[in-house]
Amino acid sequence: MVEIKEQVEQALDEIRPFLVNDGGNISLVAIEGDTVIVELEGNCISCSVNQMTLQLGVETTIKKYAPHIKKVVKVN
């Protein structure tokens, strides 16, 4: 499980600068099976395209580092 968490954190570290540049951020909440749960922060919470960012940016990047992950969901 530690290896999976490290892979997901690497993916988040890759995408984080883009979110921070827009006044937001992202943090890992949990990994449950093949699902990653994240929390969007700052401007990302109220951004009208945060679902698109989550799927096209975050989920794609996480799957690049951890191909067995099938889904990324947000808690907020």
Average pLDDT, 10 consecutive residues per value, the chain (76 residues): 88 94 93 95 81 84 95 88
Q: Where are the beta strands (DSSP E) in 1-76?
A: 24-32, 35-42, 71-74
Please tell me the predicted confidence (pLDDT) of residue 2.
65
Please tell me the predicted confidence (pLDDT) of residue 1.
56
Please tell me the predicted confidence (pLDDT) of residue 38.
95
Please tell me the predicted confidence (pLDDT) of residue 35.
97
Please tell me the predicted confidence (pLDDT) of residue 34.
96
- pTM of the predicted model as reported, rounded to 2 decimal places: 0.87
Measure CA 74 to chain center.
8
Q: What CATH number did the domain enclosing 43 receive?
A: 3.30.300.130
- Structural domains of the chain, count: 1
Residue span of the structural domain in which 25 resides? 2-74
Residue-level length of the chain: 76
